[in-house]
Structure 1
């Protein structure tokens, strides 16, 4: 299907070699059956995608009844693959969200919790190692998932970053984890993980998985420089802004999708300028003979700060459209038009 050859990039200074597109799996077990999940995985692999991302808390929205289903679906597929062909990423859930069905809390990102989380993921994924193990979000107080400002009065006790790295180092030494990464991090956090790893001879993070799209370019303000200078790859998630950048919610605010199916989901997309910005990008796409999704994805695919873009779909048609954007050219005129809209509606969904 792809006309342009898939590109592969090394995460970090000497991390895994991953495809520039990563298949996200958070719908598996909620909106997608096991058979549908396997169909997506087979198709992605055939298109040159070697990078699969999941998490112990998936599918979303997180619920006790479905927790771990995504990893089980990926694991039943992985069991019939040549393991060395796949770069498999998963994540440990931290205590900053109320997920009481995961390890009783979890209470912390300490050694006991990280180790228990890894062992559970290995069982569900039917593998003896994880290529990239990520901290799903920081344990410390910091703005997250649509919050837009740091609030010092909400400081709380938390596991030190050094202790988190020491716990991860044990798993690397044991061969259960090959590389470590972050998710939903901020500049201070990335720098502190890098600094302490160098100071104490601990594993160096190779990536951070953060939201990045036409509606959310906050990464470019501080993290882009940090990650460039420190060789930490951006794994860009939500490039379609939970469907807003497909244009479907412009025609019908209740169109089928996670935002309409699940209340209180995707809080960052409820802000005032999201719809006007999405409409402006959709109009630009139409002018260039593209679908809104193709415009949104080619932007993310071609950004120099992005190591790999995580795409997800609930149907094969959506997955094929997402992959078709890989062949779309991004010229200077289109970049200028995108930037003009960005300056008019700057980061409406931070």
Structure 2
């Protein structure tokens, strides 16, 4: 397993990160334990969670993912072997989370305390803002409309609260997620102005159907040492090709939850078909080719993979050992020119 420095921190994280958002919904605790044990055996040291997991979010399951991880930590005693990350929920209609989550000081401190209790640990290596409080373009939203009257927690209050958690020893480093170039630049400005912690990572979507991170944020990753934690590297599994032609595999995520439509549609399907055909032409597994492309990006800190079966998990982790030839990379760029970011 390869490891990369997470931003300017002293954390060395595995190139592959174990995602957890299915634990407590599609995966049982026993299955999650098996995934963690196998991942660590393969050299993975990085586990990413969130207070709202599992997904899709529901009041009756909220926090189950962190609880499962906490139970594994209590059973195994291997806390020092992993880099543990979680997230505080941004503004949303999920009123079962603190009556409606906001990124205020009070809510961030409360959220962190609750996560630490569920995770059965004294500290988080990385604590991330899951998405902005303000109305901006994330989760595939386009057509930005500025709102001066937007009722949001100021970024200064948010980062100030995170700084308190770092000072208290409950969080080692902070990161952001589903952020824009402006948002990242503002976090960096505030950190410099107030001598607060600098964010070390941005957890945004990045895959062959959505390379929008390259527009603006990738340069920040290089110049400001704020690495990408890529989520949805398989576009909800679409890039495996298993949904082509209207297929609905039993138990698959998009079969169970039709609400996840971000990577579906005529143009995304055409692009996916082209990528799958390219992979098969070069005798590559389509999913592994898609993951290997993400792994190869210099601005990447870690690639967050998730799986509901051990077969999927093993194949996804094995993408670490897949090197894409110049012909494959050229083919990927040619397809991208035909279908540029069909799912921003």
> Which TM-score tier does this pair reach, normalised by the shorter chain?
over 0.9
SS at match of 1:84: helix
Q: Which runs of 4+ in 1 moved over 2 A?
A: none
Tell whether the 8 Å contact from 1:213 to 1:240 is kept in structure 2 after alignment: yes
For structure 2, list consecutive stretches of 5 or more residues without a partner in the other structure: none
Q: For 2:132, what is the secondary structure of its paired residue?
A: coil
Pair 1:182-2:176 in alignment: yes
Deviation string 1:155-210 (CA, Å, 9 cap, x unpaired) is: 50211111111101111011100000000011000011011101110010000100
Q: Which residue of 2 aligns with 1:337?
A: 331
Segments of 5+ residues of structure 1 without an aligned counterpart are: 1-5
Shift in Å, 1:154: 7.8
Q: Please give the secondary structure, in 1, of the residue aligned with 2:219.
A: helix
> Which residue, 90, 93, 105 being the options, matches 1:98?
93
Secondary structure at the counterpart of residue 37 of structure 1: helix
Q: Does 1:169 align with 2:163?
A: yes
**Cross-structure match for 2:268:** 274
Number of the residue aligned with 1:3? none
Q: Report if the CA contact (8 A) 1:15-1:206 is conserved.
A: no
Listed one character per residue, the Cα deviations across residues 228-287 of structure 1 (whole Å, up to 9, x for unaligned) are 11110100000000011011001543223222211322x322343110011000000100
Note the alpha carbon deviations across 1:211-240, whole angstroms, 9 max, x for none: 000000000011111221111010000000
Query: Which residue does the alignment assign to 2:69?
Result: 74
TM-score, with structure 2 as normaliser: 0.97
Counterpart among 53, 57, 77 of residue 52 in structure 2 = 57
Inter-partner Cα distance in structure 2 for 1:33 and 1:138:
30
> SS at 2:243's partner residue?
helix
The number of residues matched between the two structures is 342
Is 1:85–2:81 an aligned residue pair? Answer: yes
CA contact (8 A) 1:140 1:155 kept: no
> Aligned equivalents of 1:301 and 1:57: distance in 2?
27
Aligned residues of 1:141 and 1:154 also touching (Cα < 8 A): no
Q: Mark the CA change 1:232 to 1:307 in structure 2 (over 3 Å): closer, same or farther.
A: same
